[in-house]
A = this chain, B = another copy of it.
Amino acid sequence: MAPLANNHISVDCAVFGFDGEQLRILLLKRSGVTVAGEELNDFKLPGSLIYQDEDLDEAASRVLRELTGVSDIALTQFKAFGSKDRTSNPRDVHWLERAQQARVERIVTIAYFALVKLDKNLERSVDPAVAEWRALDEVGALAFDHNLIIEEALKAIRRETGNDRALVFDLLPKKFTASQLRTLMQILSGKQLDVRNFHKKISQLPYIVPLDERQQGVAHRAARYYRFDRKAYSGSR
């Protein structure tokens, strides 16, 4: 194992996917025992201390790959979390000291987010015994300040997708329905979007291209598929 830079700096990754109905986040199962000897069965973001010979971005990619099997995705640094209280919960300290085999002092973590397509490949690369794509409203109380990190990641994502609409399509499959796009836009904007207006709007956008293909094997009326045209989008800005 490479030498640790020190036990004060870590990276954490908030990786978001969209399952067609809601956002999901990749969480690591944390197992062990509490100070009181009870079984510990909760979740945390994939994250770890950085090594001496790696930059922050390298550390984030390595940690995510090593802990979850997910690799080759674009991680964006969005915020450092360094409250002096973030490693004060005895539950976390106990777990961390056993994992690190060292006394835990204060840790500042550099947080990254990623937006991914939740496809079969990605789902296969994650071992369900180790990690899980949890729906955002089923996340519960996470280790350390990881609930706060997710909250801030969502703020950063809302800001970034507001600046550059193309990022929204990082979360959608290559072929998507108007309803999937609308649901995702509602989640990201925090606003309800009127179905008819939304259809009218996307029909006017040159970068949302209707395909001659429809959903198959669905109980309801099969919806048309669309694709995102990155070139047309760049041209329209």
Chain A residues with a Cβ under 8 A of chain B: 5-6, 8-9, 50, 52-56, 77, 79-80, 82-84, 105-106, 108, 110, 159, 162-163
The oligomer's copy count stands at 2
Report A59 CB to chain B, min CB distance, Å.
8
- Out of B52, B56, B80, name the residue touching A56 (CB < 8 Å): B80
Sample 10 A-B pairs with CB under 8 A, ordered by A number.
A5-B8, A8-B8, A9-B82, A50-B82, A52-B106, A55-B84, A56-B80, A56-B83, A56-B108, A108-B108
A78 to chain B: closest residue by CB: B79
A51 to chain B: closest residue by CB: B84
Chain B neighbourhood of A84, CB < 8 A: 5, 52-55
Asked if B5 and A106 make an inter-chain contact with CB atoms under 8 angstroms apart, the answer reads yes
| Complex Cα gap A162–B105 (Å) | 39
Asked if A80 and B80 make an inter-chain contact with CB atoms under 8 angstroms apart, the answer reads yes
Chain B neighbourhood of A77, CB < 8 A: 79-80
Chain B neighbourhood of A110, CB < 8 A: 80, 82, 108
| Complex Cα gap A124–B226 (Å) | 60
Chain B neighbourhood of A162, CB < 8 A: 163
A109 to chain B: closest residue by CB: B80
